[in-house]
Amino acid sequence: PETLQMLADRCEGNLLAAQQEIEKLALLLPPGDLAPEAVENAVARVARYDITQMSEAMLLGEVARFCKVLAGLEAEGEGAPLLVWQLSDDLHALCNVVAATRGGMPLAQAVKNARVWGRRQAAMEAAARRIEPALLGTLISEAARLDALAKGLGKDEVWGALRNFGLQLAGAGRAVLRPLAG
Does the structural domain 51-170 have CATH classification 1.20.272.10? yes
Most confident of 20-24, 88-92, 167-171: 88-92
CATH 1.20.272.10 segments of the chain: 51-170
Distance CA 121, CA 143 (A): 22
Write the pLDDT tens digit of every residue in 118-177. Answer: 889 999 999 999 988 888 989 999 999 999 999 888 766 899 999 999 999 998 654 334
Q: What is the chain's length?
A: 182
**pLDDT of 116 over the 70 cut:** yes
Q: Burial level of 32, CB count in 10 A (0-12/13-18/19+)?
A: exposed
Question: What amino acid is encoded at 51 in this protein?
Answer: I
Q: Report the alpha-carbon angle 41-44-50, nearest 5.
A: 145
